Amino acid sequence: MSNKTEAATVKKRVPASHIVAHIILIAGILIVAFPFFWMVVTSFKTDGEAMQIPPTILPKQWTVDAYRQIVSGLPFAKIYLNTILSTVVTTIGQVVICSMAAYAFARYEFPGKRFLFMLLLSVLMVPGQIFLIPQYTIIMKMHLLDTIPALFIPNLFSAFGTFLMRQFFMTLPKELEEAAIIDGAGRTRIFLQIMLPLSKPGLISLVIFTVRFAWNDFMWPLIVNTSTDKMTLGPALSTLQGQYRVQYPMQMAGAVLAVIPLVIVFFIFQNQFLEGVAHSGIKG
Amino acid sequence: MATDRRVAKEGAPSVRRGVTRRTKMNWVFSYCMIAPLCIGLAVFYLWPFVQNLWFSFNDVTKFNISTFCGLDNYRKLFGDKEVWKALSNTLKYVVVTVPLGMCFSILLAALLNMKIRGKSFYRVLYFLPSITMSAAVAMVWKWIFNEQMGILNSALKAMGMSGHNWLTDNRTALFCIMIVGMWMTIGYNMIILLAGMQGISKTYYEAASMDGAGVWARFFHVTLPLLTPTIFFVMITSIISGFQVFDAVYMMIGKTNPAFDDTQTIVMLFYEQAFDYGHKGYAAAISVLLFAIILVLTIVQFSLQKKWVNYDE
């Protein structure tokens, strides 16, 4: 065991090292936070003030003109709605489809299980771009290009989500199901009324991963939907940047609007977000 | 029938009929449960994978008429200067952002692993960039790097230095993309590494302290070696996503940008060939090349992991 003198020196040394840690951490925070800060303050400036040299830090006169222009320049309400819709449908779809399949993979034996699970894992390892051209062609053949369903259809099926949920189901004790079987509960009832409620933490991390992915997805919606009223926020920002090249407050207002909903969701569910990510590393 | 069911309930397989009724019902139930996923994955992922491979041996026109052309796309690929340039840009991006980002992430995780105050505050703020839309982030950074009116150049000028055309100079543009990429991912990886550090048993640290190891010795001889499985995981995922960098490049570097060729990544090239020029066969070959590179690198890393990853625990 450490003796008294050593404990004393440790006690004395700790604050100094903590101060150094805080200095480094705060310096990092400034770098992390600055783009957010700059985005918000620029969005409240007039075009003229944003381009002023040398620049002002805070707006001399706060204005919401940029936000007004953006709503009149692009069908922003529609774009917002599309993004929300696509995110919600993707999430609900993944929760239902992935948890169903994951439960069967975690708890049942059936012919072809190993083979199917290997296929699932192999989808997980392939870079997404490899599916893009045929996926685009399929959506085109379904006459769904430039429609809302195009935004979410391929994303309803997630190998990652299934894997995540399977890992979670595997950690649950089997005794509960066995007790339910003795009580005469059917397979479907066991899944819906016993397993799903127990797997809430797993479902929450699946929801969080999916929301984060679906809200921020860029290349797929950029490819399939080209009319502004069918777009999601990411590609809409690209359009905004192309159309209003030098209206920086307007661009920043667009960025603020695109980022805010998820930031709010994150602040509400921060522990679940951080835990979900932390666990993803331990599993690997 | 009645006896058969009872046997089934006890779970013993009846040898004569091969499988019991209960087992059969289990199969039916399982297939129903996995059906939606399997059909979806087959239609939207497995079949496209095969089709993409087929496309890469075809000349696919804008109107999706494809004619078989053998290895033409691949022959063209290996002789295409643009492909080599894009590959080298992507490689540069990975070689810089993965190790550097890893160092920053480990440093931050180690600091947060100390018993300091405000830990959860730091964790939340550092994580913030990884939940923000990359398109939005790229737009903000583009504005920061702006040559005439950007805050970076204004700050440099205020300090008596001269500004720079960060995003249009082909020596600095890729560097800017790297900064944005690292800015977005460091916090995410930090959370994973911190969880890994917190999973290290305290007994190791106590033993090291008893042997007289200081803070640094404990970090290099206890924390780092025991963290290698997590480092390995973060490295694999960072390299894979690094090879797929697209959003920031697309948003920050326009087609008319003089630095375009020096920032074009492999996925950017894929996107252009497939969806701007409609060369879907050629683009398919590019995506297969990307897949092959990632696959080989991942296999190499898994085979090298025995040399440095510590799975003692």
Residue A169 lies in a domain: yes
Cα–chain center distance at B235: 9
Q: Which residues of B touch A18 (CB under 8 A)?
A: 114, 116-117
Q: Any idea what the Cα angle at residue B284 is, between residues B281 and B285, rounded to 5°? A: 90
- In this prediction, residue A282 has a pLDDT band, given cuts at 50, 70 and 90, of low
What is the DSSP secondary structure assignment for residue A195, as one 8-state letter?
A: I
Beta bridge partner(s), residue B60: B66
Residue found under tokens 């697209």: B246
Any idea where the domains of chain B sit in the sequence? 2-55, 73-308
Which pLDDT tens digit goes with each residue over B199-232? Answer: 888 898 889 888 888 888 889 999 999 999 999 9
> Which pLDDT score, from 0 to 100, does residue A2 have?
43
Q: Which helix (H) or strand (E) holds B60?
A: strand B58-60
Q: pTM for the whole thing?
A: 0.90
Q: How many CA atoms lie within 13 A of B219 on its CB side?
A: 10
What would the mean pLDDT of A109-117 be, rounded to a whole number?
94
Q: Which of B103, B140, B148, B267 to mutate to test the interface with A (most CBs of A within 10 A)?
A: B140
Q: Please write the tens of the pLDDT for every residue from A3-32.
A: 444 554 555 555 788 889 999 999 999 999
Long-range CB contacts for residues B92-96, cutoff 8 Å, separation at least 24: B92/B174, B93/B174, B93/B177, B93/B178, B93/B181, B93/B242, B93/B245, B93/B265, B94/B239, B94/B242, B94/B243, B96/B178
- Which among A266, A240, A261, A262 has a CA at the least distance from the CA of A252? A240
Nearest CA in chain B to A261: B132
Helix (H, G, I), strand (E, B) or coil at A200: helix
At B310, list the tokens. 């510590």
Residue B7's pLDDT is what? 39
List alpha helices for chain B, DSSP H: 2-10, 21-41, 47-55, 72-79, 81-112, 119-127, 134-145, 151-158, 173-198, 202-210, 215-218, 224-243, 247-252, 260-263, 266-271, 280-308
Angstrom distance (rounded) from CA B67 to CA B58: 5
Chain B partners within 8 Å of A22 (Cβ): 116, 118
Distance CA A70, CA B77 (A): 42
A215 contact residues in B (CB cutoff 8 A): 133
E strand or H helix that includes residue B66: strand B66-68
Domain presence at residue A50: no
Q: Answer whether residue A63 is part of any domain.
A: no
Interchain contact, B136 vs A2, CB within 8 Å: no
| B290-303 per-position pLDDT tens digit | 999 999 999 999 99
Chain A residues within an 8 Å CB radius of B290: 127, 129-130
Please report the pLDDT score of residue B13 as a whole number.
46
Range in A64-73, A132-141, A248-257, B54-63 with the lowest mean pLDDT: B54-63
Residues, chain B: 313
Contact A259 B133 (CB under 8 A): yes
Residue A179: pLDDT band with limits 50, 70, 90: confident
- Torsions phi, psi for B264 (to 5 deg): -65, 120
Q: For residues B253 and B33, what is the distance between their CA atoms, to the nearest angstrom?
A: 46
Pairing of strands B58-60, B66-68: antiparallel
Nearest chain B residue to A52 by CA: give it.
Answer: B149
Are B274 and B280 contacting, i.e. CB atoms less than 8 angstroms apart? Answer: yes
- Give buried/exposed letters for B184-195 (b at 16+ CB in 10 A, else e): bbbbbbbbbbbb
d(CA A78, CA A73): 12
With cut-offs at 50, 70 and 90, classify the pLDDT of residue A124. Answer: confident
Residues 6+ apart with CB under 8 A from A118: none
A273 with B127: Cβ contact below 8 A: yes
Return the residue in B44, B47, B55, B297 with the most chain A beta carbons within 10 A, the one to mutate for interface testing. Answer: B44
Q: Is B143 in the A-facing interface, judged by CB distances under 8 Å?
A: yes
What does the pLDDT read at residue B17? Answer: 56
Residue A43 has pLDDT above 80, yes or no: yes
pLDDT confidence of residue B284 = 95
- Residues 6+ positions from A74 with CB-CB distance below 8 Å: A228, A236, A239, A240, A254
> Is residue A3 a part of any domain in this protein?
no
Contact A74, A236 (CB under 8 A): yes
Q: Which of A18, A108, A274 sits opposite B191 (nearest CB)?
A: A274
In this prediction, residue B69 carries a pLDDT of: 86
CA–CA separation, B293 and B267 (whole Å): 13
- Predicted confidence (pLDDT) per residue in A205-258, tens digit: 899 999 999 999 999 999 999 999 999 999 999 999 988 888 999 999 999 999
Q: Is residue A228 part of a domain?
A: yes
Cβ(B72)–Cβ(B58) below 8 Å: no
User: What 3-state DSSP class applies to B296?
Assistant: helix
CB-based contact B127 A277, cutoff 8 Å: yes
C-alpha triplet B272, B275, B276: angle, nearest 5°: 60
Cα separation, B285 vs B56, whole angstroms: 4
How many CA atoms lie within 13 Å of A41's alpha carbon, on the beta-carbon side?
18
Phi, psi torsion values for B68, nearest 5 degrees: -65, 135
Residue A264 in any domain: the answer is no
Q: Which residues of B touch A281 (CB under 8 A)?
A: 192-193, 195-196, 230, 233-234
Mean pLDDT for each consecutive 10-residue tract of chain B (313 residues)? 40 56 90 96 96 92 78 92 96 97 96 89 94 95 92 92 91 96 95 93 89 87 92 94 96 92 96 92 95 95 89 64
B174 and B92 Cβ atoms separated by less than 8 Å: yes
Q: In the predicted model, what is the mean pLDDT of residues A181-206?
A: 90
The CATH number for B73-308, chosen from 2.40.50.100, 3.10.580.10, 3.50.50.60, 1.10.3720.10, is 1.10.3720.10
**Of residues B166, B179, B247, B244, the one with CA closest to residue A128:** B244
Helix, strand, or coil (residue B261): helix
Give the separation between CA B141 and CA B180, rounded to whole angstroms.
Answer: 7
Confidence of residue A281 (pLDDT cuts 50, 70, 90): low
* Closest C-alpha among A29, A34, A44 to residue A252: A44
pLDDT band for A284, please (50, 70, 90 cuts).
very low
Which residues of chain B lie closer than 8 angstroms to A116, CB-CB?
34, 38
Whole-number pLDDT of residue B1 = 37
Please report the pLDDT score of residue B286 as a whole number.
96
In a domain, A34, yes or no: no
The size of the A-B interface in CB pairs under 8 A is 281
**3 state SS of A231:** coil
Q: How far is A167 from chain B (nearest CA, A)?
A: 16
A127 vs B129: CB contact, 8 Å cut-off?
Answer: no
Where does the pLDDT of residue A81 fall: very low under 50, low under 70, confident under 90, or very high at 90 and above?
Answer: very high
Please measure the distance between the N-terminal and C-terminal CA atoms of chain B and give it in whole angstroms.
52
Which domain covers residue A160, as residue numbers?
77-243
Residue B49: list chain A partners with CB under 8 A.
123, 126, 130-131, 134
Q: Domain of A114: which CATH number?
A: 1.10.3720.10
Ramachandran angles phi, psi of B280, nearest 5°:
-70, -35
Neighboring chain A residues of B152 at a CB cutoff of 8 Å: none
What pLDDT, on a 0 to 100 scale, did the predictor assign at position B231? 95
pLDDT of residue A272: 87
Please report the pLDDT score of residue B8 as a whole number.
41
